[in-house]
Amino acid sequence: MADPADSVRLPHSRRAAAALTLATVAVYADIYIPQPILPLLSREFGVRPAAAGLTISVVVLMIALVSIPYGSLSDAVGRKPVMVTSLFLLAVPTLLCAAAPSYRALLVFRALQGALIPGVTAVAVAYLGDHFSAAELGPKVGGWIAASVAGGLAGRVVSGLLADWWNWRAPFLLFGGLTVLGAAAIVRELPRAGVRSPRLSLPSRDLLQHFSNRRLVGAFVIGGAVFFCFIGVFTYLPYYLTAAPFHLSTAFVSSIYLVYIAGIFASIVSGRLSARFGARPMMAVGLAIAGCAVAGTLVRSTPFIVASLVVLCVGMFTVQSTAPAFVNANARRAKGAAGALYVTFYYVGATFGSLLPGLAWQQWGWPGVAASCAAALGVGLAADAILCV
């Protein structure tokens, strides 16, 4: 159980909520800095689209690989120390990316970012779970997901604009500094949650326990499927829209990522709706909405594509604001490890989503990207219908 004092202090502290929001925005911005500038990186380093996409996939792969230890560590030593340490360290490779002398060096620094990011992404929901009841958790997680959406939006939009006005290195400097500010805010404002376990539990034991719960497995698959689709569409969108027949500029394409604002509202609303109607129906609805949106991107009209991307954000974040709370509610114990395992599946999906649609793009163009993303959503719907019951 969390310390009762903590569970009173957090919900009544706007400054604590603001600190967690700032840190979340910084972390998620760091993940997506290169996404709108991939064509620039292709030209700068002479790499093909699928290779340029590695600047995204190497981060999400590292997040997938190391999330589980962070969850177990936070179960033992507390959520706040893990988040604070990770944030301060994350600022270092983020700033180093701005000085990368080669594409290989850039990938190394991006991998280091990915190794540190789960110190927040794999722990924050468990932190909220320490402070709020099951009835309150859905809306609170929805609010946290909204902050992550804002971070992804900032990383994509600001990165593209800075790169267009100055150069591709500038965004890494800006968001490296923001990461330091987020770490400092967490140190100052967040109460320390009670430690949930007196010692480090064996990750393998926790993992085996969670894999025996089919509802958790279903949620893990859904998280990976929806992020495969989302990352696939938005990673290769710049190639689609800067080529014929659109010929849009990098700055304009970057501004299209403002559709993420729809995800902020969807996260908040769906978090509340899931408390009323249940998480499983909300996840199914979100997956279906996302599938319709992917089909809409095939229409070669810029306004129609933008509208489809708005719908995609609504669908994706309807799922993502619901699934982590579903995992937390259905984990019988070691909730930090369960949340970390969800994050692992989520980013495994992103790893494949940042790579396979790129190969499909090189072979079949945008219809190949759309088909691969739609197939992933189909897997998620099957998991919702079969495993999450």
* Gyration radius from the chain CA atoms: 19
Report yes or no: 28 and 350 within 8 Å, Cβ to Cβ: no
CA distance 301 to 324: 35
CB 257 within 8 A of CB 378: no
Examine the pLDDT at 287 and tell me if it is beyond 50: yes
Helix axes 124-131, 54-77, angle to 10 degrees: 30
pLDDT band at 309 (very low <50, low <70, confident <90, very high): very high
pLDDT digits (tens, 9 = 90+) for 313-359: 999 989 988 998 899 888 877 777 788 788 889 889 988 998 899 99
Is residue 155 scored above 80 in pLDDT? yes
Residue 14: in which H helix or E strand, if any? helix 14-32
Lowest mean pLDDT among 43-52, 286-295, 325-334: 325-334
What's the CATH number where 376 sits?
1.20.1250.20
Share of the chain above pLDDT 70, in %: 91
The whole-number pLDDT of residue 135 equals 66
Dist. CA 104–CA 46, nearest whole Å: 12
**Residue 193: what are its φ and ψ, rounded to 5°?**
-75, 155
pLDDT at 362 over 70: yes
Reading the block at residue 39, the tokens are 């064509």
pLDDT of 373 reads 98
pLDDT tens per residue, range 318-331: 998 899 889 988 88
Q: Which of 66-70, 189-193, 335-339, 376-380 has the highest mean pLDDT?
A: 376-380
Q: Can you give the pLDDT at residue 381? A: 97
Query: What domain range is 119 assigned to?
Result: 4-386
Query: With the C-alpha atoms ordered 266, 309, 319, 129, is the resulting torsion angle positive or negative?
Result: negative
CA atoms within 13 A on the CB side of 19: 20
> Measured between alpha carbons, how far apart are the two ends of the chain, in Å?
28
What pLDDT does residue 253 have?
87
Question: Per-residue pLDDT tens for 182-239?
Answer: 999 999 888 765 444 444 454 556 667 888 899 999 999 999 999 999 999 998 999 9
Give the C-alpha distances (Å, rounded to integers) separating 333 from 214, 321, 339.
15, 21, 11
pLDDT at 13: 64
- The answer to whether residue 144 scores a pLDDT higher than 60 is yes
The neighbour count for residue 332, using CB atoms within 10 Å, is 11
Name the more confident of 384 and 208: 384
**Number of domains within the chain:** 1
Cα distances (angstroms) measured from residue 20 to each of 87, 148, 189: 11, 10, 9
